[in-house]
Amino acid sequence: MADKEKENLKALLKYWVAHNQDHGVEFKEWAGKAQAMGEHEVAVDIEKACAQMDKATALFRQAFQKLSTEGK
C-alpha cells in the first residue's frame, strides 16, 4: 500500500473509532430517554444497535492497530 494511502487509511480508522464512540454516547442517552417515555421496545432496539456499533468500533480499532504495527 502506498505510504500516503496508508496514512490516510490510518487517519480514517482513527476518526471512525472516535466518531462511533461519540455517537454511541448519544445513542445510549436516547435509549434511556425512550425507556423513560415507556417506549421499552424502542429502547431495546437502540441498545441492540449500540452493541453492534461497539462491535464495529472494536474492528476499526483492531484494523488501526494492525496497520500501525505493520512492518515493525
* Confidence at residue 70, expressed as pLDDT on a 0 to 100 scale: 78
Q: Which cell numbers in the block locate residue 6?
A: 496508508
Output the 3-class SS for 41-65: HHHHHHHHHHHHHHHHHHHHHHHHH
Residues 30-51 pLDDT 10s: 999 999 999 999 999 999 999 9
Mean pLDDT is lowest, of 1-5, 28-32, 54-58, for: 1-5
Among 13, 11, 21, residue whose Cα is nearest residue 53:
21
Give the pLDDT band (50/70/90) at residue 1. Answer: low
The count of residues in the chain is 72
